[in-house]
Amino acid sequence: MQKINDIQNFIQQLSQYPSDRTVFNPYYGKEYESNIRRHNLTLYLQQMTALNPTVLLMGEAPGYKGCRKTGVPFSSEHLLRHHSFFKQRAYHFIPSSEPLTKENSATMIWDELQHWKRPPLVWNSYPYHPHLPDQAKTNRSPRQKEVLEGRVPLKQLMTLFNIEHIIAVGRKAEQQAEQLKFDHTYVRHPSFGGKQSFKQGMKRLRIERG
């Protein structure tokens, strides 16, 4: 019961930061869509609580096709509907006449995580969606100031789940882990031709830690 309360408090704190012209907080506000994202993140963290992970897989930031819509890091609507880890659970979707969105990096990551006996918790260096000014359907790397801001919820989540090791996906995540002076392993990001290197790195870690 305490863990559930801690998760709710964590998401409540996460939802306080308002969106602006270059950053979108998926959890902020009282809109129906925000409620869906908070619900999905709550469900995901509760699902992970039952698995008691000690490893966290950390990316850079949410993208507009993935976490911005679902509220769950490294996910997409298509994954929530069809992947074995998520389907047949009570994840919700924002009503739309368009097909369920897919996100390539999220798909490649969950193709690997499905082989883990106890999949790592997934999160990002920066928990909100950074984009170009007034262009919601774009992605950009978080600025250093934003990465520093993301360190507060990251540390809270690591404490909440007693994380012992970070898998840093990409250099921005590696930089975050290094600056936190936390035990970590770097793996290549699967996008932009990095899929095979990512798969090899994750397979090695699965043998060691999965």
CB within 8 Å of 171: residues ≥ 6 apart: 186
Taking only the tens place, the pLDDT of each residue in 102-119 is: 999 999 999 999 999 999
The span from the CA of 149 to the CA of 143, in Å, is 10
What confidence score (pLDDT) does residue 58 get? 98
Taking only the tens place, the pLDDT of each residue in 16-50 is: 999 999 999 999 999 999 999 999 999 999 999 99
| Containing structural domain, residue 69 | 2-209
The span from the CA of 27 to the CA of 184, in Å, is 28
Against a cut of 0.85, is the pTM above it?
Answer: yes
DSSP code per residue over 167-195: EEESHHHHHHHHHTT--EEEE--STTTTH
Domain total in the chain: 1
Output the domain CATH number for residue 76. Answer: 3.40.470.10
Which is nearest to 96 in space by CA: 74, 78, 108, 75?
Answer: 78
Taking only the tens place, the pLDDT of each residue in 157-176 is: 999 999 999 999 999 999 99
